[in-house]
Structure 1
Amino acid sequence: MSRPELLAGPVAAALGRWGGTGPGGSVLVVDTDPAVADTAAFSDTYGVPLDVSANCVVVAARRGEKVTYAACVALATTRVDVNSVVRKRLGARKASFAPMETAVAETGMEYGGITPVGLPDGWPLLLDEAVVATPSVLIGSGLRRSKLILPGAALAGLPNAEVVTGLAR
């Protein structure tokens, strides 16, 4: 893996497990300006189309006292349907975006750089079908100062990944 200093610890570890073959061999790490890490600013600054950029959001799904954290990935041109699709898929009575402090603490990643690569063990990973169909997708690296570029289909090979039709609109 090239440029491990540009990756959050859990992301570097996950990419290391992938190794140089398979999906891990297809991952590029690019250094970026952390001041423009947010998707719209990044797109404007670097001229990257939003339809090849993906966002990873952390959701807290509640049923009674039990809270399940999950990650959802959608193209930047869409929004994850948390209140209907995610809530039903996770069997929760209520689902909402996890608070920033919780998302950062649970993932070991920086807010604005959270990625599906290197999520905590056991977390569900819900992927919108459009992300998986994208030949090369730009997504966070776990840090605000860099991004990953990889085949969208490679994300479907991550632990606990599920491609969900209609996850995002």
Structure 2
Amino acid sequence: MRAHADALGLDVDVVTRPAARSLAEAAEMLGISPGDIVKSLVVRRSDGDYLFALVPGGRKIDWAKLRAAVGTNRLSLPDAEQAKAATGYERGTITPLGSTTAWPVFADERVQGHRVALGGGAHGLSTFVDGDALLSALDATVADITGEE
């Protein structure tokens, strides 16, 4: 993960934290608001390819908005085994940084404009990075793709 971030020219801070039972608990441990944690969700397209959806804490994918942004009628969440096969990461640790395949990234517009934390590629790791720099480095498509949880 760090090697990929370095290759992209991203300044990241990887921190170790105890296992968290929830996003809110992880945010409290990290001293940030839940909205500053970005969930990296792997999504399967109908053609069998995947993409990453970057979703701020406290929000969930709005499937209609994401389908419109992607330009497809059918998207779904793969099971845990398929997600690991697509990214190399277990659920709860997924990040587009260092994924076994550089799938396209679709990010909610709320990721912009501040420092965020996302999965670090292993349980108990969080990666802090400037949201704008992350989106630029990953050539992310930025749109309103979420709704409130």
Amino acid paired to 1:168: T
In the TM superposition, structure 1's runs of 4+ consecutive aligned residues that sit over 3 Å from their partners are 44-47, 119-122
CA distance in 2, matches of 1:69, 1:93: 14
Amino acid paired to 1:79: K
- Give yes or no for the alignment of 1:167 onto 2:145: yes
- Which structure: greater helix fraction? 1
Q: Which has the larger radius of gyration?
A: 1
How many residues get paired?
147
- Kept in 2, the 8 Å contact 1:52–1:138? The answer is yes
Amino acid paired to 1:155: L
Aligned partner of 2:14 in structure 1 is: 29
- Which structure: greater strand fraction? 2
After TM superposition, the score normalised by the length of structure 2 is 0.86
Q: Deviations over 1:9-64 (max 9, x none)?
A: xx13312313xxx4x2x31110111x3164233124444311211111111121xx
Cα RMSD for the two superposed structures: 1.9
CA distance in 1, matches of 2:135, 2:30: 27
Shift of 1:141: 0.8
What residue ranges of structure 1 are gaps of 5+ in the alignment? 1-10
Aligned equivalent of 1:68, options 49, 73, 77: 49
Aligned equivalent of 2:115, options 136, 142, 147: 136
Aligned partner of 2:127 in structure 1 is: 148
- Kept in 2, the 8 Å contact 1:32–1:145? The answer is yes
Aligned partner of 1:116 in structure 2 is: 96
